[in-house]
Amino acid sequence: MAATETYPDELRYHPEHDWARIEGDEATLGITWYAQDSLGELVHFEPPDAGATIAKDASYGEVESVKAVSDLITPLSGEVIEVNQKVVDAPETVNEDPYGEGWLVRIRLSDPAEAEALLDAAAYRQLLQDA
Amino acid sequence: MQTLLRTPLFDRHVALGARMVPFAGWEMPVQYEGVIPEHMAVRTDSGVFDVSHMGELEVEGPRAHELLQSTLSNDLRRLADGEAQYALLTNESGGIVDDLIVYRLSPFRFLLIVNAANREGDYEWLKEREIAGSDVRDISDEYALLAVQGPRSLERLGLGETAAFTFAEGEIDGIACMINRTGYTGEQGVELMVPAEDAPQLWDRVVERGATPAGLGARDTLRLEVCYPLHGNDIGPETDAISAGLGWVCALDKEFTGVGELRRVKEEGPQQKLAAFVMKERAIPRQGMPIEGGGEVTSGTHSPMLDRGIGMGYVPAERAAPDTELTIDVRGKPRRARVVKKPIYKREAGPSGGD
């Protein structure tokens, strides 16, 4: 069922509890274990359209649990090249595997240098501790 | 900042790892394991809810019946001792001060179980209308209330089948309580009214007997699937019972507060009606979202049984018929829904069907 709390070292994090896995000039985006745990079981993913341009720190979609709606904040700017249809069809996939099967979108980065401003796993864990 | 009230079961909730939230001035469990598993436990087996935040008012005296007959919408003459009925406390314009269940303890003594947020308002409302020979008392602090709901709830508690909307003094594992065959989930079940000091022991026994602790989150999804209105969302002082589809609990052939206005609405036909709908697209309606062509969503959620967005809202009367297509403004995006006959979810016919 629910995943156990982890924050993988190979990812970069946004303080709004979103992660990015950067591979060359592309990145996969998702929400962190903390975000899915705070929301509870996800029942809806409102994705951006493929081809949409999304800007760092802005909302690119929404996820909803029974009780709450949350904006998805993109850690990086770029163009959406793929939406995870599995999460559209079965949003609880995010709760089960937030960093794997529960990824949300893949984007082509418009400014890879933006990644330097993101948190590494240690800094993100610290942010959660301080909250 | 106002201090939140805690029920006698607060420590039990914390020990179970519940997520506690403010609700109507109380610190209440919204979920333990999760809204969906708790919802499913109630639909398939049994769940237990702490609803001790609800208010209990006792109305007693030779003219208690008269006071309630003139202030409540339903006809108290239909009640015998040991029977309960759903009723509305109405204002002069036919609006709904509160919805409640009235229990006849004796011809001269009645119990009202009312919404937590309206406990003080209801008490004052009745106090102002008190007549010689009727006495209204707020006994809420003396009692806790546990709702045990689900197709296996009676079996889990070792109780025999009894008719819905009846009640009796009884005991569960030696703990005396009032056992009411009422609930807010559309499932078979009971609400156990127990002296506050005995509530933790009763909770423990009920959980040991296999009822799954369930929070306010599941309580809301369960009641909305069966279209039970929530006061403050779907009904209130500005909405009348006829438009809300609650004409069946209004005895328009007797005199009570606001009856003239209700007769008029009934006669002329309501301009708006509280319709239930199911989303045709993937989207979750939420309270306050506009409905195209007039009206707005008064309650909305994700239905675990249908795996779809569902809701209720007031729409122009001509658009309230089943199969009418509605368009709901979901944060700027038009999303289609279909009006359905209430309830939205109905158990397949079977030996342990809902109330």
pLDDT digits (tens, 9 = 90+) for A50-89: 999 999 999 999 999 998 999 999 999 999 999 999 999 9
Q: What are phi and psi of B163, to 5 degrees?
A: -70, 150
- Is there a contact between B304 and B40 (Cβ–Cβ < 8 Å)? yes
Per-residue model confidence (pLDDT) at position A3 = 84
Nearest to A67 among B30, B282, B331 (CB): B30
DSSP-based three-state secondary structure for B114: strand
Architecture of domain A12-120: Beta Barrel (2.40)
Q: Which residue of chain B has the CA closest to A64? A: B284
Nearest chain B Cα distance for residue A82, angstroms: 19
* Residue ranges per structural domain of chain B: 10-53+142-224, 272-355
Per-residue model confidence (pLDDT) at position B349 = 56
Looking at chain B, the whole-number percentage of residues with pLDDT higher than 70 is 97
Task: List all residues 6 or more positions away from A98 whose beta carbon is below 8 Å from its beta carbon.
Answer: A3, A30, A31, A32, A33, A35, A36
Across the A/B interface, how many CB contacts are shorter than 8 Å? 34
Give yes or no for B288 touching A (CB within 8 A). Answer: no
Nearest to A40 among B31, B301, B309 (CB): B31
Cβ–Cβ of B35/A64 closer than 8 Å? no
- Residue B354, pLDDT > 50, answer no
DSSP-based three-state secondary structure for B211: coil
The structure tokens 């209440």 sit at: B28
Which H or E element spans position B218?
Answer: helix B216-225
Instruction: Give the tokens for residue B52.
Output: 């001790």
Which H or E element spans position B318?
Answer: none
Nearest chain A Cα distance for residue B40, angstroms: 13
- Measured CB to CB, residues of chain A less than 8 Å from chain B are 40-41, 43-44, 46, 62, 64-67, 69, 88
Give the ipTM of the model, two decimals please: 0.86
Q: Mutate one of A43, A88, A89 to test the B interface: name it (highest B CB count within 10 A).
A: A43
pLDDT tens-digit readout, A4-20: 999 999 999 999 999 99
What residues of chain B, 222 to 281, have a C-beta less than 8 Å from chain A?
Answer: none
Architecture of domain B10-53+142-224: 2-Layer Sandwich (3.30)
Nearest to B283 among A40, A44, A65 (CB): A44
- Is there a contact between B192 and B178 (Cβ–Cβ < 8 Å)? yes
DSSP-based three-state secondary structure for A74: coil
Plot region of B165 (φ>0 → left; ψ -120 to 50 → alpha; else → beta):
left
Nearest chain A Cα distance for residue B323, angstroms: 24
Closest C-alpha among A96, A4, A83, A85 to residue A42: A96
Instruction: Give the tokens for residue B241.
Output: 């019972």
Q: How far is CA B35 from the centre of its chain?
A: 18
pLDDT tens-digit readout, B74-121: 999 999 999 999 999 999 999 999 999 999 999 999 999 999 999 999
Cβ–Cβ of B284/A62 closer than 8 Å? no
- Give the span between the Cα atoms of A61 and A74, in whole angstroms: 9
The mean of the pLDDT values for chain B is 96
pTM, 2 dp: 0.94
Cβ–Cβ of A44/B282 closer than 8 Å? yes
In this chain, the answer to whether the domains covering B10-53+142-224 and B272-355 adopt an identical fold is no
Q: Mutate one of B19, B284, B289, B305 to test the A interface: name it (highest A CB count within 10 A).
A: B284
Superfamily name and number for B272-355: Aminomethyltransferase beta-barrel domains (2.40.30.110)
Neighbours of B137 (CB within 10 A): 14
Closest C-alpha among B24, B18, B100, B27 to residue B58: B100
